[in-house]
Chain A
Amino acid sequence: EVQLVESGGALVQPGRSLRLSCAASGFSFDDYAMHWVRQVPGKGLEWVSGISWNSGDITYADSVKGRFTISRDSAKNSLYLEMNSLRAEDTALYYCAKDIKGFNGYVFNSWGQGTLVTVSS
């Protein structure tokens, strides 16, 4: 069974940094692209970033480009999101999601339970 467990969410002041992690199990992590998708509670979904199986293709939403960095560690079966220069509008529940493909196909067939990031002074 695929399991994705996010961690690292917290209350943080504007301008500060935060690192999210996602521990993956139950599938061959090296074979699939992975993504971060966020959702303001009670609102819609916004794709944030994606990384291909070999980290060769990395993409970002315009809203986070230059501030967020996605990475993965195959030895630890883990996905990361380094978030810098955080803004109030980055406040959301951040989901880790597995792609159906090894490249960035952007179809998400497994999701974690999410980790909450709140940016406020």
Chain B
Amino acid sequence: DIQMTQSPSTLSASVGDRVTITCRASHSISSLLAWYQQKPGKAPNLLIFKASRLEIGVPSRFSGSGSGTEFTLTISSLQPDDFATYFCQQYNTHSPSFGGGTKVEIK
């Protein structure tokens, strides 16, 4: 099984900050990585797939990069609506797995 490790687990930031979240895979997953945003009491929402492809309707301040085992999610200018938990997920195998999540909190 492929293990996904996110860092940091919690991040404190202010509105307008540039925020970067890292996700590492235990084995190479090519570019088969997705990012989701989850707000309290809500289901996850797909932001990015194939490492860097923005889902329709997702603001352009979100971007993803990386391949192989190391990936990043960047929010170029943090907005009030972006305070949430973010999960990465690999889908390189028929046993997809998620990272442990990164909670983005208000500083």
Whether A and B are associated in the same complex: the answer reads yes
> A residues 97-121 with Cβ under 8 Å of B?
100, 104-109, 111-114
Contact B87 A44 (CB under 8 A): yes
Task: Give the interface SS of chain B, mostly helix, strand, loop or mixed.
Answer: loop
The answer to whether B49 and A104 touch across the interface, beta carbons within 8 angstroms, is no
Contact assessment for A47 and B43 in the assembled complex, using a CB-CB cutoff below 8 Å: no
Please report which residues of chain A, range 46-105, place their CB below 8 angstroms from some CB of chain B when the two chains form the complex: 46-47, 59, 61-62, 95, 100, 104-105
Q: A105-B91, A106-B91, A109-B55 are in contact. Are A47 and B44 (CB under 8 A)?
A: no
Q: Out of A44, A62, A95, A111, name the residue touching B98 (CB < 8 Å).
A: A44
- Residues of B in contact (CB 8 Å), total 21
Task: Give Cα distance in the complex from A61 to B97, angstroms.
Answer: 10
Residues of chain B within 8 A of A59, CB atoms compared: 94-95
Q: Which residues of B contact A46 (CB under 8 A)?
A: 98
Number of contacting residues on A, CB 8 A?
Answer: 19
Check: A45 CB closer than 8 A to any chain B CB: yes
Kindly state whether residue B100 has any CB partner on chain A within 8 Å: yes
Name the contact of B96 in the complex, choosing from A44, A62, A106, A113 (C-beta under 8 A): A106
Are B100 and A44 in contact (CB-based, < 8 A)?
Answer: yes
Report the bound CA distance from A47 to B99 in whole Å. Answer: 12
Number of A-B contacts (CB under 8 A): 46
Chain B 18-45 per-residue mask, 1 if CB under 8 angstroms from chain A, else 0: 0000000000000000101000001111
Which residues of B in the span 64-107 have a Cβ within 8 Å of any Cβ on A? 87, 89, 91, 94-101
| Chain B residues within 8 Å of A, Cβ to Cβ | 1, 34, 36, 42-46, 49, 55, 87, 89, 91, 94-101
Instruction: List, sorted by A's number, 26 A–B pairs whose CB atoms are closer than 8 Å.
Output: A44-B99, A44-B100, A44-B101, A45-B36, A45-B44, A45-B87, A45-B89, A46-B98, A47-B95, A47-B98, A61-B95, A62-B1, A95-B43, A104-B94, A106-B89, A106-B94, A107-B34, A107-B46, A107-B49, A107-B91, A108-B34, A108-B36, A109-B55, A111-B44, A112-B43, A113-B43
Given contacts A106-B89, A107-B34, A107-B91, 15 further A-B contacts (CB under 8 A): A44-B98, A44-B100, A44-B101, A45-B44, A45-B89, A45-B98, A47-B97, A59-B94, A59-B95, A62-B1, A95-B43, A106-B94, A107-B46, A113-B43, A114-B43
